Amino acid sequence: MEDYLLYHYPLCPLSRKVRFLLNELSVRHGLVEIKPWERNVRAMELNPPEGEIPILLVKRDGNYAVVDSFVIAEYLVSLNATTLLPRSEREKAEVRKIEMWFDKKFYNEASLVILRERVYNSLVYPHLSIDTKELKESEKRLNYHLAYLNTLLNGRKWFAGEKFSLADITAAAQLSSLDYLGEIQWDKYRNVKNWYLVVKSRPSFASILTDVIPGFKPYKYYDKFDF
């Protein structure tokens, strides 16, 4: 039997981060799909009052929930032998800084609005038209952020430190959700593209590349290695 149950939504970048991490650590887990736009009683019970995902249900010590993608990552990394978070406090802070930047800034300013306008809203209100102004503004911010990320990767293999870390997991989770929708112009950001190609090849990432959202075909390069 698995030790964990993850309440998630396939395209949610914060959920993807935890899925990618669970695979990377080879931690056995089950998945329960939650639609972020619906009120789900079980999710609200596990993470009151609003039931926000991702939620990691730990199936021991009488079952308990760990919530928030950043907090879940800290939890899982502490309980498993891994170099995904470096040893020194200074290097840890570098990894966490990138993680937090994605969790807060990139997510709020780019991913969340794009996902809401292009996917969530259209599933909830099929006849509602997209708020083009909001979407365009988020896409502009997305490109601004991608240009910054491209600079960050100048002469560096990973986003923080010498090794593949939680920072790279967090970044790949966010970018892959937007890539599913064809939002990333890879050729404009060569450093990011080269980095993503390496991350994409990890076996732990494979299940994310097979995600299919009913009604939304993945963009043509989504699961390809020559894009």
Residues that bind a second copy (CB under 8 A): 49, 58, 61, 64, 66-68, 70-72, 74-75, 78-79, 89-90, 92-93, 96-97, 100-101, 104, 108, 148
Specify the residue, 104 or 217, whose C-beta has the smaller distance to a second copy: 104
Distance of CA 76 to the CA centre of its chain: 16
Specify the residue, 89 or 226, whose C-beta has the smaller distance to a second copy: 89
DSSP 165: -
Q: Are strands 4-8 and 55-58 parallel, antiparallel or unpaired?
A: antiparallel
C-alpha span between 167 and 159 (Å, rounded): 6
Least distance from a second copy to the Cβ atom of residue 102, Å: 11
Least distance from a second copy to the Cβ atom of residue 50, Å: 9
Least distance from a second copy to the Cβ atom of residue 67, Å: 5
Least distance from a second copy to the Cβ atom of residue 97, Å: 5
From residue 159, alpha-carbon distances to 15, 100, 185 in Å are 20, 13, 19
Specify the residue, 68 or 168, whose C-beta has the smaller distance to a second copy: 68
From residue 137, alpha-carbon distances to 107, 117, 142 in Å are 14, 12, 9
C-alpha span between 153 and 167 (Å, rounded): 12
C-alpha span between 195 and 158 (Å, rounded): 7
Specify the residue, 19 or 92, whose C-beta has the smaller distance to a second copy: 92
Specify the residue, 188 or 224, whose C-beta has the smaller distance to a second copy: 188
Least distance from a second copy to the Cβ atom of residue 218, Å: 29
